[in-house]
Structures are given as C-alpha cells and as structure tokens.
Amino acid sequence: MAIVATLLMVVGSCCLYLSSPKQLWCQRHWPLFARLAGILLLAVSFILYWGPYQPVVAIAIWFTGAMCAFVVLPYSGAALQIRRGQRHG
C-alpha cells in the first residue's frame, strides 16, 4: 500500500509541476486538467498513507515525500535544459 501511495505522490507532483507555466521539462505547460489530476493523486496518496501508519507518521511521510518531489523536479528540469544546450531562467 505504501508503494502505491508513494507512486501516486510522485506522479501527482509531476502533474502539478508540468502544469505550471514556468516548468522546464516541456515546451508548453500541461492544461488545467493535469493540475486537477495532480491534486487528486496527492489526496489519494495521503489517504493511502493514512491506513497503514499512525496519523502523525502518515502526515510526516506525505509532507516529506511531496517536499522532496517539489524540490527535485525544478532542478531536474534545469539540468535537462542545460543538457539540451538551452538557457533557462
């Protein structure tokens, strides 16, 4: 259950990041539907974490995982832009 929740959290974070106008992975940002799907996936992952863990542990795992994903995604996009030879920023 925790593996599915983690996978949903990462995919939801990616959907939220790729739907933002300043993302660096794609030429154009994803539509609003991706943002709504990302929010839904993050909410489902939170609910899935709530089952096998105590509430405080589930909250800590979810916030830490989401924070890591939201930190890694912009830096990986910048690295991708540098690798492509394009300027970013």
pLDDT tier at 86 (50, 70, 90 boundaries)? low
What whole-number distance in Å separates Cα of residue 10 and Cα of residue 37? Answer: 12
Pair 42, 16: CB distance under 8 Å? yes
* 89 domain-assigned: no
* 25 domain-assigned: yes
Tally Cβ neighbours within 10 Å of residue 43: 12
* 63 domain-assigned: yes
What whole-number distance in Å separates Cα of residue 73 and Cα of residue 70? Answer: 6
* 27 domain-assigned: yes
Domain count, the chain: 1
Query: In terms of residues, how long is the chain?
Result: 89
Predicted TM-score (pTM) of this structure:
0.84
Identify the pLDDT of residue 29: 84
Identify the pLDDT of residue 85: 80
pLDDT digits (tens, 9 = 90+) for 42-68: 999 999 999 889 999 999 999 999 999
Secondary structure percentages of the chain, helix, strand, coil, to 5: 75, 0, 25
